[in-house]
Structure 1
Amino acid sequence: MNLYPIEAGNFKLDGGAMFGVVPKSLWNRTNPADANNMIDIAARCLLIEDGDKLILIDTGMGDKQSEKFFSYYFQWGDHSIDKSLKKHGFHRDDITDVFMTHLHFDHCGGSIQWNKDRTGYEPAFKNARFWSNKDHWDWATAPNDREKASFLKENIIPMEQSGRLQFVERNNDDAYTQIEPLGFEALFVDGHTDKQMIPHINYKGKKLVFMADLLPTAGHIPLPYVMGYDTRPLLTLEEKKKFLEKAAAENLYLFLEHDAHNEIVTLKNTEKGVRLDKTYTFNELFN
């Protein structure tokens, strides 16, 4: 097995929305805001090369939305999925499976693209299966008013129409489920959105956890630092506390999807609770 970080593009989000009730005077220390109160955000995906499978976890925003849409997110840098795949010797047509932690636009938008004459949509990975879970799919396709702007039909429905949508079979109500076809385990969490999946991958003697929106950036490690976007913030607190304690105790390596400046972190227990221990680049840790 080989793993590769895939940079799908950087953007900015409102710092207040990203940290909820936490005052700016606190979160600004770790995630400094610009003059518009926007903070740096990444869309860092993960590619798993395992035998004849090439699995991409999340796909970023994509590029099919309108100029007005993208103007809200202040994209910066020159990252793209295609450039990042090419850097590692791959093409999007090589991808066999796309696993989506959840269906918010900044995690799955890159899965679908315009067709050639821009009359409709088609899979951006023409040889891939698309993985979600039935409960989250139902949640996303009949969205509540709070999340409606994050679940865009043009990102979601074409997956089903392609005939290549697959649902993870969950182990009853267990928090952890082994996803046999893909070769890794996922933790189900419900605070940010219903049935978000957090992949856990054993790699080179370490356990790497793709954090998605359970822990967006290293600045979100303190328990009260919960995004304003979360639908059930008190449940996020509970899920986060349990996970962070486990991560510190078991020395898990946390792969941060949205932290533009820290790729991987480990945690430690302190008198103030679980806190940041070390930061790594992917290459430092695995190459």
Structure 2
Amino acid sequence: MTRIISLIGYSIAYLLNKTLRVKDVRAEFWKDIPGPVIFAFLHGEQFILYHHHRRQKIAIMTSLSRDGEIQSNIIKRFGYSPVRGSSTFGGQRALVEMIRKVRQGFSSAFAVDGPKGPIYQVKPGIILLAQKTGRPIVPISVAVKNYWLLPRTWDRYQLPKPFSRAVVVYGQPIPVRTEDNVEEKRKFLEEKLGQLTKFSHQYYWSKDISDYLFQHPNPKILIIKPSGIGDIVHSLPVAIGLKKIFSRSELHWLVFSKFADVLRKETYLDRILLWNR
């Protein structure tokens, strides 16, 4: 019976995901890392991730319960390698197996507040895995523009509506050294994942651009001012002000090549783009 339920669940997940329009934000945070990474996400946001990261040599921890067996069968069809165990039962054995998988070249993925919550509370297992393997943790948050919130679910599980837009946001990698305090790193990851979740969930509903820039972990601002030297000089205080207000931002300036030398001494600019007519 579990195999039949798993096949139905996989079919629904695959077909529904194929209708979605999913956008990556800061995917380079994990794509630019050589070797395996450890993905951290919330239990209620996993639906899109199974399809989005399919067949990428990733091991996922699933519980030893009947629900975990169904989940294992589903993720196998998406090309994942399930490792059975959870923070409540079989955790030590599962952690040892996950360490072995990562050392074999697998990335790993954790619903960090699973399997039963409390919601948004990171369990220490992912920190121990990063500490034992030396691989960085990459936080992920998912937001869907139109979705059903499943009733009576502890994790506020989001089921996307067909043909909806969605965004998958990646946070900066978090290294864990052998000498790091596990509880401090757990709290740090919980804080960073909370910030990332706050941003992703406001991605479609920010009231204005300033709200978006404040929430984005690393926004990019492009100034298009290719014209006369006077316009450029008068725009410099505005650019400096933007950098001060949105200190985490990357500031790019598009300018005619003949005026580029005026900007090269401005150390707050991250990049100068040349416009040649």
Q: TM-score range by the shorter chain?
A: under 0.3
TM-score using structure 2 length: 0.26
User: Based on CA coordinates, which of the two structures has the bigger radius of gyration?
Assistant: 2
